[in-house]
Homo-oligomer: A and B are copies of this chain.
Amino acid sequence: MKRVITFGEIMLRLAPEGYLRFVQADRFQATFGGGEANVAVSLANFGYSAAFVSKIPAHEIGQYCVNSMRRYGVDTSQIVRGGERLGVYYCEKGASQRASKVIYDRAASAIALAKREDFDWESILDGADWFHFTGITPALGGELPEICLDALKVCKAKNIFVSCDLNYRKKLWTREEAGKAMATLMPYVNLCIANEEDAGDVFGIHAENTELTKGKINTDGYKEVAQKLKDRFGFEKVAITLRRSFSANDNDWGAMLYDSEGFHFSKTYSVHIVDRVGGGDSFGAGLIYALLDGQSGADAIEFAVAASCLKHSIEGDFNCVSAAEVKALAQGDGSGRVQR
């Protein structure tokens, strides 16, 4: 069984029911999420051995969080238990012209205050086939950029394939900070994943003439961005997700993979959104699964996009779909007919 290790933060996600706004709520759906945790859960649901690495308080809320991943089969044995607080994020679901809103309360979380000595990467990465992290992890600050580097060096030594989703968060660091820190880590990365804006935000690499808010996709522009990323950092593969947002309910969703065989564009799905948070993470997980599974670049990007298409129909950060369900969609049945 393939084994993937992901490293980052997981937060308690508090969401009002349905389309209620924060100020209307009187209870919150309590789930958990975070870029790398979402990838681990998705891979566990696909049937891989997936371990999530983080630092989580030893108290009951921390335990509740650990249980939320264990439930889906994630290996939580490498999580360091300690520290005071678990980060929280508040998530309000948008509709029509009203956008979803996310408020983070993650400062001073256990993972953000973690120390290099908390993680014994030689042991953690033992037996791993793949290591995944996102730009959010170093953005948490403290010793995290160095901890990431520690992990990546061990990956290199152990010849573990590394993927990184750039995932720029402007609330966590400036573009300058991100660019500098990420540039240090990129040389260890084999697969770089980005959305339409990340390459520009983090590295100042832009697709020309792409007007994102108007939803027009400039195919050549994306190729150009992928090429520039590869040129600058020597990535083996670059994947870019392409989202056109018509409203909070309706998006088009697709992606491109650039590898040694060239550019592979997936089909585009018109998705009616149940919950789009975690959409990018489910794409990353799908891509990791497919590539580790030995699929071709063309097949892998279809699998990854189908996986993340389905995520948009699922509540919460975690993508609760099986590999078989993803394959069925990737191979063409999106009619939504009842399965009895």
Q: Is A140 interfacial (CB-CB < 8 Å)?
A: no
Find A271's partner among B71, B92, B96, B309 (CB 8 Å cutoff): B96
Q: How many residues from A make CB contacts under 8 Å with B?
A: 86
Complex CA gap A108/B63 in Å reads 23
Residues facing B in A143-171 (CB within 8 A) are 169-171
User: In the assembled complex, which residues on chain B have CB atoms less than 8 Å from the CB atom of A19?
Assistant: 274, 313-315
Q: Is A264 interfacial (CB-CB < 8 Å)?
A: no
Complex CA gap A316/B26 in Å reads 12
Given contacts A23-B320, A313-B19, A340-B104, contact A247 B334 (CB under 8 A): yes
Contact A335 B246 (CB under 8 A): yes
Complex CA gap A218/B336 in Å reads 20
Specify how many copies of this chain sit in the oligomer.
Answer: 6
Complex CA gap A248/B313 in Å reads 10
Given contacts A102-B338, A245-B337, contact A31 B21 (CB under 8 A): no
Contact B316 A96 (CB under 8 A): no
Q: Is A127 interfacial (CB-CB < 8 Å)?
A: no
Contact B310 A97 (CB under 8 A): yes
Complex CA gap A336/B245 in Å reads 7
Complex CA gap A269/B95 in Å reads 13
- List the 10 closest A-B pairs by CB distance, nearest first: A248-B336, A71-B71, A97-B334, A95-B313, A98-B313, A245-B335, A96-B272, A22-B60, A96-B313, A102-B340
Beyond the given A23-B72, A249-B272, could you list 13 further A-B residue pairs with CB under 8 A, ordered by the A residue number? A17-B27, A19-B314, A23-B63, A27-B27, A67-B71, A68-B71, A94-B336, A96-B309, A96-B312, A97-B271, A97-B329, A98-B314, A102-B338
